Amino acid sequence: MAPVSNLDQPVIEDVSSIDPALAPFTCLVAAEAARRDNNRQDHIGTVLSQFEKTYFGPEVGHVRRVFNKKLMAHMKIGGRLLDFGCGGVWWKTDYWPEFSHVTACEVDNAALLEIAKEFSDVRLWWTENGIIETSERFDVVLSSSVVGYILPEQARHHLSCAYQLLGDGGQLVMTRVLAYDLAAFVRSRRLVDIPGPSFAYHYTRKELVTMLGDVGFKNVRYIPLGVRLPGLNWRWTQRLYAFAPGIMSNILPYILPFFKIQHMLIAEK
């Protein structure tokens, strides 16, 4: 993808669904978009490698790289991709260049502006309620780290929308969904407040599989992404993913299922 040299006014299409039943989500989505935008202002211009020197959470570093590799191993590449809740520019060069056409959709307009500066041939879509109205169909819809930050009722709409947007035989890749792990279970906290303020929601594998089936998906496959060992901080967890990626991501999720940190599910229309 070629860098953009002179794009002051990128074209961002409003694809918001006009269904009045979705109105309650507009406030939630707007609050989340504003929080993401504030976050981005703090990191804008931050080179990822610099950020990774001071921040060790699972969104970045070796953990993220291992999870991205697993994602790439399962995505049907080559066709038309909708990156639904794409976020900003980080990580996009890992998978966008593998597709013939990429559409980036966000509720956070600032993320799309950031993308427009670096990717000239990506179509930009914005939705105020998180749901998209279009007659277009895609080969792959990617929902990466979106469902862990929306409530179950919203997640159901998000997945139902993804289903509508796929052509027959199209693939949904839902990845980096927060797992309902031992820490969340012991603290009885599925819904966790995070600074911003915002929240994260921990889903069980069963809930996600059921939701996918309910909205029409078939051939649902579950792939755990990896574990976090109890008592180990994120800095050390990152080191373990650097030195033993296969053990952390492929073996331990089956031996220590309650220490899983994130889920991936692949499904077909």
**What residue ranges bind ligand SAM (CB under 6 A)?**
29, 32-33, 36, 84-87, 91, 106-108, 111, 130, 144-146, 149-150, 154, 158, 176
What whole-number distance in Å separates Cα of residue 77 and Cα of residue 100? Answer: 9
What whole-number distance in Å separates Cα of residue 114 and Cα of residue 125? Answer: 13
Contacts of 56 (CB under 8 A, 6+ apart): 233, 234, 235, 237, 238
Rounded least distance, CB 40 to ligand SAM, Å: 9
161: closest CA among 148, 180, 174, 175? 174
Rounded least distance, CB 142 to ligand SAM, Å: 7
Q: How many residues are present in the chain?
A: 269
DSSP tag of 251: I
* Single-letter amino acid code for the residue at 221: R
Nearer to ligand SAM, 176 or 260 (CB): 176
Joined together, the tokens standing for residue 83 give 């990156």
Nearer to ligand SAM, 177 or 184 (CB): 177
Rounded least distance, CB 98 to ligand SAM, Å: 16
Rounded least distance, CB 161 to ligand SAM, Å: 8
Nearer to ligand SAM, 104 or 227 (CB): 104
Nearer to ligand SAM, 28 or 182 (CB): 28
